[in-house]
Structure 1
Amino acid sequence: MKAVMMNGSGEPRAVLKLDEVNDPKAPQSGEAIVRIHKRIIHPADYQTIRGYLPAEVFTNAGVPGIDGVGVVESVGAGNDCATGIQVGTRVIVYHAKGTWAERVCVPTATLMPIPDDIDDAVASQLATNGITGLMLLRAAEQAIGSQEAPATILVTAAGSGVAQSLIALTRALGGKVIGLVRRDADGGAVSKRFGDLTVIGTDRDDWQDAVRRAAGQAPLVAIDPIGGQMLPKLLALLAPRGTLITYGALDPTPAPVSSGFLTSFELTIRGCSAMGWATRTPAEQRAADFNTLFDLARQSSHLFGGYSEFPLASVVDAIAAAEASPRRGATILVSDD
């Protein structure tokens, strides 16, 4: 079978190659082989390729990829059909390693059957991106606690796939969101996607003041995948006892944070990872969470359009598209049928 192989770390053009590799071994009890049709390119993927994130966490034997959508080709002996996983079942694979290959052997517990009315391109966007958005919403709700009026949540990288799920889920519950994007000129497109969302570009000299004016009062929660130099600026916007929830490090430089500032305002920094959700969430809750996301896709289908698709052989071009700004939808790697 074909797979994208990573030969060391560095620029994608220098270290990635589509190659022939061995097919997975026959699945054991509790395992299935899935032929992957589509998989999203995530920041964690190209950060791993460049060596910013540990390869042992985000790759399998040199093959990147942490999720995908495909069809079950075989299952191990003794598989419980009550799970809905059988040959021919169309599934989301999350969380797994090495999905930038045509086939993967994974535990059946990592698979979620896809309803017939959700197509592969949309389903692929609901794996890591959708689950992360739902997980971040719950973390924000925990941080906010009980409030008489809806609290404001500040969301950076508002044009990303994770942010669009988070924003849509939050607003459906009556929450107030302010979005941040890299360039103010790109804010209009993101705002239009959500109707009347306030979106502010951090290239404005007064972007922090603009956030304060839009919020009316200091936000209790900021949600951020950037880190680095952005992190202390977000902390400065939070209300006393506020929480900054981080789920990435798009800026790999260390964040200059004063413990004295954190202490004085009793601020909290909390890290969240969808991989944690994948390892600690029981099967019943996993199914309920994905059903929430399937309903989101049905009700807000416009959020999942505008994606681009590239064959595995064009992975370098696909990564360049995924990194381009402004974001114009998901970038999906597809296998030849």
Structure 2
Amino acid sequence: MKAIKLNGSGEPRDVLTLSDIDNLPPPNGSNVVVHIRKRAVHPADYQTARGFLPVDVFAPHGILGNDGVGVVEAIGPDVDPATRISVGTRVIVYHAQGTWAERVAVPASSLMPLPDDIDDAVATQLATNGITAVMLLRAAEEAIEGRKAPLLVTAASSSVSRSVIALARLKGHAVVGLVRRDADAASLAEQFDKVPVIGTDRTHWQEATKVAAGQSPMVAIDAIGGEMMPTLLGLLAPGGTLITYGALDGRPSPIHSGFVTAFELTIRGCSAIGWAMRTPPEQRAADFASLFDLVRRAPHLFAGYSEFKMADVVAAVAAAEASPRRGATILVSP
């Protein structure tokens, strides 16, 4: 079968190759073999290829990818019928390794059956990005403890952030979005009625953010990191929480502990991997059900994606790196 192999670290064109690898043996125990049709290109993928993230965590067998959508081809003898997993079931693979291959063997517990009305390209965006949005909103609600306080969301045009904003609005939360360029703010604001969107290239954007929020936010949800983090901490109300889930800016964050201490601020990290490891099966099913409902209510949030054949992986990575805020980038196999 085919897989995209990672050979060292460096420029994607130099280290990523479509190769033939051995076919998978029949699954044992509670494992399942899934034929992956589509998988997203995430920042963690190209950051690993470039050597910024550890290969032994994100590509332990030389194959990137931790999620996807596909069809079950074989199941192990110990798969519980209660999982609703059988040969031919269309599934989301949401906690796995090596999904940049045509087939993967994963525990049945890493799969979620898909409703017929959710197509593959949309479902691919839910596997990590959608679940990350659910997890981030839950963390934000824990931080505000039922208070009415606006949420600040960076990289607001990204797939994750748009889902966060939509889910937050459905639950009655006020949100302010931040984007890199003020020129992009209008198009995003069209998708979300009455959600202020501010470009960080605007003069005095910090003051504009506080005015738009009506008060200092209690929570900031950030995918950027780097030099944005201390700025976001400075925007928070005393006792506020910065929730970080990404590092689009790979530079270290110059955060002064004295500032964090004086204003009793909290910095909390969240990851979809942590969600998959700690969330009980009933809650996982409920979280995916909320995402399926969001797709039905707001299908436009999941449009605008780009698809590339596995053989065109270098072009796919280039597209994902150039603008992670213009919709998902998806690798497709037959």
What's the TM-score, normalizing by structure 2?
Answer: 0.98
Distance change in 2, residues 1:35/1:60 (3 Å): farther
1:5 paired to 2:5:
yes
Which ranges of structure 2 fall in alignment gaps of 5 or more residues? none
User: Alpha-carbon deviation of 1:54?
Assistant: 1.2
Q: Report which stretch shifted further, 113-122 or 51-60.
A: 51-60
Give CA-to-partner distance per residue, 1:75-98, whole Å, 9 cap, x none. Answer: 011322221100000000011010
Contact 2:134 2:164 in 1 (8 A): yes
Query: Which one-letter code corresponds to 1:45 in the other structure?
Result: D
Report what 1:52 is aligned to: 52
Tell me the distance in 2 between the aligned counterparts of 1:307 and 1:271: 27
Which residue, 214, 221, 224 being the options, matches 2:222? Answer: 224
User: Alpha-carbon deviation of 1:320?
Assistant: 1.1
Query: Which one-letter code corresponds to 2:168 in the other structure?
Result: T
1:95 paired to 2:95:
yes
Which ranges of structure 1 fall in alignment gaps of 5 or more residues? none
Report what 1:311 is aligned to: 309
Query: Which one-letter code corresponds to 1:259 in the other structure?
Result: S
Mapping for residues 215-294 of structure 1, pairs under 5 Å: 215-294=213-292
User: Alpha-carbon deviation of 1:282?
Assistant: 1.3
- Hey, which bits of structure 1, 4+ residues long, moved more than 4 A? none
Query: Which one-letter code corresponds to 1:202 in the other structure?
Result: T
1:19 paired to 2:16:
no
Partner SS for 1:64: coil
Contact 1:41 1:319 in 2 (8 A): yes
Q: Report which stretch shifted further, 306-315 or 51-60.
A: 51-60
Query: Which one-letter code corresponds to 1:237 in the other structure?
Result: L
Report what 2:156 is aligned to: 158
Give CA-to-partner distance per residue, 1:262-295, whole Å, 9 cap, x none. Answer: 1110011011111000011111111111111111
1:178 paired to 2:173:
no
Partner SS for 1:213: helix
Query: Which one-letter code corresponds to 1:334 in the other structure?
Result: V
Query: Which one-letter code corresponds to 1:66 in the other structure?
Result: N
Contact 1:69 1:91 in 2 (8 A): yes
Mapping for residues 95-174 of structure 1, pairs under 5 Å: 95-147=95-147, 150-174=148-172
Give CA-to-partner distance per residue, 1:148-177, whole Å, 9 cap, x none. Answer: xx3110000001111011110000011011
Contact 1:36 1:71 in 2 (8 A): yes
User: Alpha-carbon deviation of 1:325?
Assistant: 3.0
User: Alpha-carbon deviation of 1:326?
Assistant: 7.0
Give CA-to-partner distance per residue, 1:1-22, whole Å, 9 cap, x none. Answer: 1101101111111110000011
Partner SS for 1:4: strand
Report what 1:327 is aligned to: 325
Partner SS for 1:167: helix
User: Alpha-carbon deviation of 1:183?
Assistant: 0.8
Report what 2:36 is aligned to: 36
Report the number of matched residues.
Answer: 334
Contact 1:58 1:97 in 2 (8 A): yes
Query: Which one-letter code corresponds to 2:194 in the other structure?
Result: D
Partner SS for 1:37: strand
Contact 2:94 2:110 in 1 (8 A): yes
User: Alpha-carbon deviation of 1:26?
Assistant: 1.6
Partner SS for 1:292: helix
Give CA-to-partner distance per residue, 1:189-240, whole Å, 9 cap, x none. Answer: 1111223321111111211111011111100000001111000000000000
- Please tell me the root mean square deviation across aligned C-alpha atoms, in Å: 1.0
Tell me the distance in 2 between the aligned counterparts of 1:288 and 1:274: 15
Tell me the distance in 2 between the aligned counterparts of 1:228 and 1:324: 18
Contact 1:40 1:124 in 2 (8 A): yes
Tell me the distance in 2 between the aligned counterparts of 1:267 and 1:240: 7
Contact 1:186 1:326 in 2 (8 A): no
Tell me the distance in 1 between the aligned counterparts of 2:323 and 2:66: 23
